[in-house]
């Protein structure tokens, strides 16, 4: 997130090298994001896109396939002239980390191309591959010195999620990468940070004087973070069954939301200060014992059902999912943050697939008014004060408070004050990746994850992974596709005398 002025500036000339260019991510998100940047004139004037495939492919074939993807996934109407200009920049080069000589050949081709396009040697490598390929590719980029910053040129590496599968593997990947490049060259991407509403959490908290004084344990009862999805696992069975809802969503997307809501004010709005505060608050999440982890978590797996008109099959009968799988497709956790601001304030997190409603939000529940002045009136139970930051599908902020219902007797009802982005701002829909890719091109890593944050995130979820592994199927509940998730999800809050905000 840079200031408006620097947002206007065009990035330096560079080459944009995509590993995994034939895959889903490149077609669905990366190229549509580059298209959006091209359409707003935010790509460098001297620019080339290099698609790395394991086997050589004619440029035309790759361009056609990317064009098809663009037509399907673009977030705005595609202007043929802009799309053509963008895709003419695409060259396909073959390289496979299993064949080191192919990286030497790729280096020669890339350097020739860079000389032709006058990119000045600035390079951005985007690892849009399955995670198992991150380290082998980075090792080859290191060996061939393609990532070495010399002669004034910058070299950057975007690494997709999932970054590791647990604390140990995340540390190993960080160590491996840091042997090859400096931390300032690594851009660990989490597309949640590209979402406007997520970035707005910082602005809401720190550009307004009225929230921060009450943003603490004295006034906040608890925080709920929800990322509910309607989609089932679809064709991602093989990835998902080895991953599960916790690894797929919590240490990355949900923790981005948590850290922005819970961090201390940074001393400056720069990458170092903001990322340090985020890392600190993640490190302050209490590490639970395995017994506590079992008590403070629930997991579920969906069974067949209907969502709207769509029939969703049983998770266990999904392509590439084991028929006796114990992988969770729903998880809810209770976490606490051990610092002065948040001591005693639970953070409840939940996320699941194949649920009845798609919704991403952070709901901050404030404490009840301290004095029950209306006890003897017809209203003795006030409704709850929530501040809700809605990320998807609604983008906005809602404040719920109590008001008097007009009439002769005192009657109180909960009402809402609503801010909706679409009512105030006209923004073209985006993939969320364009901000991140643009920021990487201008060298601003404020919206990317630093090594310590990633490790702190895994540290916090590791006890759940360990406890569930030992428990196997014990404790795994089922829920019907299209429902609100397993009943045990409600129990996690009910035993604390609380409840989830209802699905809207």
Catalytic residues, by residue number, are 253
For ligand BG6, the closer CB: 44 or 352: 352
User: Whole-angstrom Cα distance, residue 46 to residue 89?
Assistant: 10
- Residues 416/397, Cβ–Cβ less than 8 Å: no
Contact pattern from residue 381 through residue 410 relative to ligand BG6, giving x for each residue in contact according to CB under 6 A and a dash for the rest: -----------x------------------
Cβ–Cβ under 8 Å, residues 237 and 320? yes
Least separation, in Å, of the C-beta of 105 and ligand BG6? 33
Distance CA 367, CA 223 (A): 11
Residue with token string 């496979």: 96
Burial of residue 37, with CB atoms counted within 10 A of its CB: 0-12 exposed, 13-18 middle, 19 or more buried: buried
Closest contact distance (angstroms) between CB of 282 and ligand BG6 is 18
Q: Which helix (H) or strand (E) holds 347?
A: strand 347-352
Judged by CB under 6 A, does residue 360 bind ligand BG6? Answer: yes
Residue 315 is encoded by which pair of tokens? 């998770």
With CB atoms as reference, the residue minimizing the distance to ligand BG6 is 248
Nearer to ligand BG6, 43 or 254 (CB): 254
Tokens (6 digits) for 307: 């969502």
CB-based burial of residue 295 (10 Å sphere; 0-12 exposed, 13-18 middle, 19+ buried)? middle
Note the helical H segments in 13-166. Answer: 24-25, 31-39, 59-73, 80-88, 100-117, 134-143
CB of 392 to ligand BG6, least distance (A): 6
Counting contacts by CB under 6 A, is residue 455 touching ligand BG6? Answer: no
Q: H helices within 181-217, ranges in order? A: 196-206
CA distances from 343 to 97, 101, 218 (A): 48, 56, 10
Interface with ligand BG6 (CB under 6 A), residue from 96, 229, 277, 439: 229
Looking at 96, 228, 248, 395, which residue binds ligand BG6 (CB under 6 A)?
248
* Whole-angstrom distance, CA of residue 348 vs CA of residue 331: 11
- State the DSSP code for 321: S
DSSP 183: G
Nearer to ligand BG6, 112 or 235 (CB): 235
Q: Does 449 engage in binding with ligand BG6 (CB under 6 A)?
A: no
Q: What's the min distance (Å) between Cβ of 248 and ligand BG6?
A: 5
Site for ligand BG6 in 141-170 (CB under 6 A): 161
Task: For ligand BG6, give the closer residue by CB, 46 or 195.
Answer: 195
Helix (H, G, I), strand (E, B) or coil at 114: helix
Q: How far is the CB of 361 from ligand BG6 (least distance, A)?
A: 11
The nearer residue to ligand BG6, 303 or 360, going by C-beta atoms, is: 360
Radius of gyration of the chain, Cα coordinates, nearest whole angstrom: 24
CB of 433 or CB of 438, closer to ligand BG6: 433
In this complex, which beta carbon is closest to ligand BG6, that of residue 292 or of residue 392?
392
**Of the candidates 359, 414, 417, 409, the residue with the CA atom closest to the CA atom of residue 382:** 414
- Residues interacting with ligand BG6, by CB under 6 A? 161, 229, 248, 360, 392
């Amino acid at each position: 997130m840079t200031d408006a002025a620097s947002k206007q500036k065009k990035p330096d000339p560079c080459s944009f090298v995509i590993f995994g260019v034939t895959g889903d991510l490149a077609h669905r998100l990366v190229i549509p994001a580059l298209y959006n940047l091209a359409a707003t004139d935010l790509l460098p004037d001297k620019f080339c896109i290099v698609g790395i495939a394991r086997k050589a492919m004619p440029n035309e074939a790759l361009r056609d396939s990317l064009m098809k993807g663009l037509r399907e996934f673009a977030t705005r109407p595609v202007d043929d002239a802009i799309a053509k200009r963008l895709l003419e920049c695409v060259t396909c080069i073959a390289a496979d980390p299993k064949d080191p000589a192919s990286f030497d050949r790729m280096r020669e081709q890339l350097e020739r191309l860079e000389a032709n396009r006058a990119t000045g040697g600035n390079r951005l490598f985007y690892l849009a591959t399955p995670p198992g390929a991150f380290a082998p590719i980075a090792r080859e980029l290191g060996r061939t010195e393609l990532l070495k910053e010399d002669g004034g040129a910058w070299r950057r590496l975007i690494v997709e999620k999932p970054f590791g599968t647990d604390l140990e593997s995340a540390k190993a990947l960080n160590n491996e990468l840091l042997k090859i490049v400096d931390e300032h060259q690594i851009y660990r991407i989490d597309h949640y940070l590209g979402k406007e509403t997520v970035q707005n959490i910082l602005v809401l908290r720190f550009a307004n004087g009225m929230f921060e004084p009450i943003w603490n344990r004295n006034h906040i009862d608890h925080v709920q973070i929800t990322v509910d999805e309607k989609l089932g696992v679809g064709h991602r069975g093989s990835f998902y069954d080895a991953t599960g809802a916790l690894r797929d969503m919590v240490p990355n997307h949900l923790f981005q939301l948590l850290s922005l809501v819970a961090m201390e004010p940074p001393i400056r709005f720069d990458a170092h200060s903001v990322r340090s505060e985020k890392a600190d608050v993640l490190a302050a999440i209490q590490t639970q014992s395995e017994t506590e982890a079992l008590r403070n978590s629930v997991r579920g797996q969906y069974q067949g059902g209907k969502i709207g008109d769509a029939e969703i099959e049983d998770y266990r009968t999904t392509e590439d999912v084991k028929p006796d799988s114990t992988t969770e497709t729903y998880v809810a956790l209770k976490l606490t943050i051990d610092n002065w601001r948040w001591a005693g304030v639970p953070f409840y997190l939940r996320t699941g697939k194949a649920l009845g409603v798609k919704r991403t939000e952070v709901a901050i529940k404030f404490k009840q008014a301290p004095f029950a002045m209306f006890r003897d009136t017809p209203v003795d139970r006030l409704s709850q004060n929530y501040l809700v930051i809605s990320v998807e599908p609604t983008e906005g902020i809602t404040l719920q408070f109590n008001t008097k219902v007009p009439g002769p007797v005192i009657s109180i009802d909960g009402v809402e004050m609503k801010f909706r982005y679409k009512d105030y701002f006209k923004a073209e829909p985006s993939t969320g990746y364009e901000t991140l890719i643009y920021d990487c091109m201008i060298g601003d890593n404020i919206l990317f994850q630093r090594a310590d944050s990633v490790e702190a995130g895994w540290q916090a979820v590791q006890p759940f992974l360990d406890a569930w592994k030992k428990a196997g199927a014990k404790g795994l509940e089922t829920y019907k596709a299209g429902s609100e998730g397993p009943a045990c999800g409600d129990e996690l809050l009910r035993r604390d005398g609380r409840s989830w905000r209802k699905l809207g």
